[in-house]
Amino acid sequence: MFQPTGWDQKVAQYSNYSIPLFLSEYGCIKNARNFEEVASLYGTNMTPVYSGGLVYEYSEEGNHFGLVQISGSSVTEASDFAALASELSQNQPSGDGGYKSSGSPSTCPAQSSTWEVTAFTGEELPAIPSGAAAYMKNGAGTGPGLSGSGSMSAGGSSTGTATPGSGSVTAVASGGGSSASASSSSAAQALVAGELGFAPLVCGVLVLVSSLVGAALL
């Protein structure tokens, strides 16, 4: 399984890598899942570079990759679970697995027509702004919390419940733009007294006259 899967190429690519690697997902379902790749993954071909892997996947989610079926608090092992357990029991690396302590950071490829990147020395980066440097060194300080500027409580807390009828309205004069304050109860009394003007009465008279003239013409 080492060469047919292309894992030999991955091992060659990361053979000098200096940090642990693992396969995030493995376990094809194209044919029977016998997990024969476990022998390669945990064998001497790969353990010097790879630190194992994670099988896809633990619980069945409808895509047939699950090792177990979960129903409520009940867990039922599928046949794939037993196959994986068997392979893992037979392929256990010993010692450090061939770990190379002399590994070094990977280097970028040389510049070419397919890799148009020049050598990086670190001098290409712009200097950090002084304001940002201060934040990096000292932090942003203590947050304002709920009482800070812009928060929902910045205007102060409520002083209680308003007394019914305590509101007021403001009237604006048509000429000079000055305003006069009148209580809400006064406004209500003005409506009762009929201070709405003559416009509705005039409109009603015109409609009545028009109706009588039309009837006479018929």
Of the candidates 94, 91, 97, the one whose C-alpha atom is nearest the C-alpha of residue 35 is 91
Separation of alpha carbons 131 and 212, rounded Å:
84
46: pLDDT strictly greater than 70: yes
pLDDT digits (tens, 9 = 90+) for 70-79: 999 999 999 9
Tens digits of residue pLDDT in 105-125: 767 778 888 888 777 666 667
Q: Are 172 and 179 in contact (CB under 8 A)?
A: yes
Please check whether residue 42 is in contact with residue 12, taking contact to mean a CB–CB distance below 8 angstroms. no
**What is the average pLDDT value for the chain, to the nearest integer?**
76
- Stated as kind and residue range, the H or E segment containing 204 is helix 199-217
Q: Percent of the chain at pLDDT above 70?
A: 65
Q: Say what the pTM is.
A: 0.47
Residue 159: the pLDDT is 57
Residue 81, pLDDT > 90, answer yes
In the block, which residue shows the tokens 């037993």? 82
For the chain, domain boundaries:
7-90
